[in-house]
Amino acid sequence: MNTNNKKKFKKITTNALLEMKIQKEKISMLTAYDFTMAKIIDSSGIDIILVGDSASNIMAGHETTLPITLDQMIYHASSVVRAVKRSLVVVDLPFGSYQGNSKRALDSAIRVMKESGAHSVKLEGGTEIIESISRILKAGIPVMGHLGLTPQSIYKFGTYSVRANNSDEAQKLIHDAIKLEECGCFAIVLEKIPAELGKKVAEKVKIPIIGIGAGSGVDGQVLVTHDLIGMNNEFNPRFIRRYLSLYDDISNAVKHYIEDIKNLNFPNNKEQY
Ligand code: KIV
């Protein structure tokens, strides 16, 4: 862990992130959806906690991120905010809460900020949602962009494959990133794009670029915490690095517990009143 960074920034703000980019210090970001996990990763020194709409998959078991509602996102976000002392908390606006209607987008962002106490919101998309982003920003709410693989549009593309790997799509992505910066976004997530393109975008814009499957040339990295700690063993894209194998560890602990009950080993004399 970068303990220097923990001392330097007592609280992570959008300005602190810009400062990190200028200083060439990489930014760390992870997801959390509940109080207990948020407390562990915040106190471990993570810079940004994302209350991702991946909660739809990870917490609720849906196949896509589309079903999660604004109320559910606010519930997850407020649990996270109660645990956080230092990190910047970013909350995904869920599918259907901002697309195609900038008034609805603003209302959704205000609800997130007011009801959860989070510090900013994230929206998927480029020029097609710029009106929504700009209206939210005008209300004083910091916005993080999200380009490349945008899981809320999965049915438009039909696959979770690498995005922007031809020159037209790469040009559009660069154009979108510049527009998001001009509009006032404080950072952008780039998901599952060629590493060379990730580096190019990070060099083109002054705001931090946080990658997930976007290579090492960007300004920071984000992973889904449940992937990092190996809580699920069925999702294996190349960009994940697993630091633990908790799926197996928890399963073994549960098997051990069952065995102890069946063999009359739990509770023992010291474990009862
Ligand atoms: O919802 C999420 O977890 C995300 C990350 C994959 C960036 O958007």
Alpha helices in the chain (DSSP H): 3-8, 14-22, 35-43, 55-58, 70-81, 102-116, 130-138, 154-157, 167-183, 195-204, 225-228, 246-262
Q: Is residue 255 domain-shared with residue 150, that is, in the same domain?
A: no
Centre of ligand 1 to C-alpha 91, Å, is 10
In this prediction, the residues of the chain whose per-residue pLDDT falls under 70 are 1-7
- Distance (Å) from CA 193 to ligand 1 centroid: 14
Q: Are residues 257 and 204 in the same domain?
A: no
Tokens of 236: 């294996």
* 223 and 90 in a common domain: yes
Averaged pLDDT score across all residues of the chain: 96
Specify whether 16 is located in the same domain as 76. Answer: yes
Residue 7's pLDDT is 60
Residues with active-site annotation? 191
Q: Are residues 217 and 232 in the same domain?
A: yes
Specify whether the CB–CB gap between 133 and 155 falls below 8 A: no
Does 235 lie in the same domain as 250? no
Tell me, yes or no, whether 254 and 268 share the same domain. yes
Q: Would you state the structure tokens that stand for residue 170, as one six-digit string?
A: 């790469």
**Number of structural domains the chain divides into:** 2
**Helix-strand-coil percent breakdown of the chain, rounded to 5?**
45, 15, 40
CB of residue 94 inside a 6 A radius of ligand 1 = no
Task: Choose among 131, 137, 129: nearest CA to 113.
Answer: 137
Do 42 and 174 fall within a single domain?
yes
Is ligand 1 within 6 A of the CB of residue 189?
Answer: yes
pLDDT at 233: 82
CATH number at residue 7: 3.20.20.60
Same domain, 11 and 55: yes
Residue 96: HSE in the Cβ half-sphere, 13 Å Cα cutoff? 8
State whether the beta carbon of 150 lies less than 6 angstroms from ligand 1.
no
Same domain, 15 and 63: yes
Q: Is 213 in the pocket of ligand 1 (CB under 6 A)?
A: no
- Domain check: are 153 and 266 in the same one? no
Q: Among 72, 45, 71, which residue's Cα sits nearest to residue 61?
A: 72
Q: Dihedral sign, CA of 47, 52, 54, 55?
A: positive
Centroid of ligand 1 to alpha carbon of 53 (angstroms): 7
Model pLDDT for residues 153-204, shown as the tens digit of each residue: 999 999 999 999 999 999 999 999 999 999 999 999 999 999 999 999 999 9
Same domain, 257 and 152: no
Domain residues for the domain of 257 are 246-273
